[in-house]
Amino acid sequence: MLRNVCVGLVLLVLGYAGAGLIGGAIPTNTSWREPADGVRIQVSSNGVHTGLIVPLVAAGVDWRDLIRPEDLADPLYANYPAITIGWGERAFYLETPTWADVKPLTVLAAALGTDSVVAHVDHLPWPTPDPDSRVITLRPQEYRRLAAFIRASFAPRGWHRTGYFRNDAFYAARGRYSALRTCNAWTGDALRYAGVRVGAWTPFPTTVMQWFKT
């Protein structure tokens, strides 16, 4: 009996991984081509979570009404010109800044589904591209659609707390997290809503990052 359960769990995990890789390889917005000029953003990954690096102010979008200096452990970091925004399950995000912090029970609880979600925001200088990030140029209207999607993911101003360091914070968010809608799927959804060519379902970091050149 125990052996059958273990075999079933292994097959479930392998099936999920295979489905995610296939979903991440199916293109959407196939006619999209990156413009020569526009608003530069980045997609970043720390191996667990992906996020979107956007200008603090650009193309008529100003994040300072939503993300405030007093939310940080050190408000001076709010003067930086860029922010990274991610979305995810509250316990998983708060407790797993790296793979070394991942706990199986936390992953299982998140995978089963929960409405307890947060947005994570880092304030930072505009980063130099590296193997863990990709630069994308968006048309102003595409960037405004991206910003609208991100804003809609934040709950009305309420619960928030400082983050891992002195330059980041967590905010109450909207949505439901599950194995089908992970933090990386949210990143893909945001880019897809903006009109960018990206996979149909992007549950893993690699299924997001593979669409953009280093």
Please provide the average confidence, as pLDDT, over all residues in the chain. 89
- What's residue 14's pLDDT? 75
Q: How many structural domains are present in the chain?
A: 1
Question: Rounded distance, CA 2 to CA 156, Å?
Answer: 46
Q: What does the alpha-carbon distance between residue 16 and residue 22 come to, in Å, rounded to a whole number?
A: 10
- Per-residue pLDDT tens digits for 152-184: 999 998 899 999 999 999 999 999 998 889 999
Does 113 fall in a domain? yes
What percentage of the chain exceeds 70 in pLDDT?
86
Residue 61 covered by a domain: yes
Q: What does the pLDDT read at residue 103?
A: 64
**Is residue 214 situated within a structural domain?**
no
* Cα angle for residues 47, 48, 53 (degrees, 5° grid): 80
Asked whether residue 3 carries a pLDDT value surpassing 90, the answer given is: no
DSSP string, the chain: -HHHHHHHHHHHHHHHHHHHHHHHHSEESTT----SSSEEEEEEE-SS-EEEEEESEETTEEGGGTS-GGGSSSGGGGGSSEEEEEEEEHHHHHH-SSGGG--HHHHHHHHH-BS-EEEEEEEESPPPP-TTEEEEEE-HHHHHHHHHHHHHHBPSS--EEE-SSTTEEEEEB-S-BSSSS-HHHHHHHHHHHHT--EES---SHHHHHTTS--
Does residue 22 surpass a pLDDT of 90? yes
How high is the pLDDT of residue 48? 83
Structure tokens at 80: 């930086």
111 falls in which pLDDT band (50, 70, 90)?
A: low
Residue 98: pLDDT band (50, 70, 90) is low
Q: Is the pLDDT of residue 49 over 90?
A: no
Provide the residue range defining the domain that includes 63. 2-209
Mean pLDDT of 55-65: 97
Within a domain: 179: yes
Per-residue pLDDT tens for 125-136? Answer: 998 878 899 999
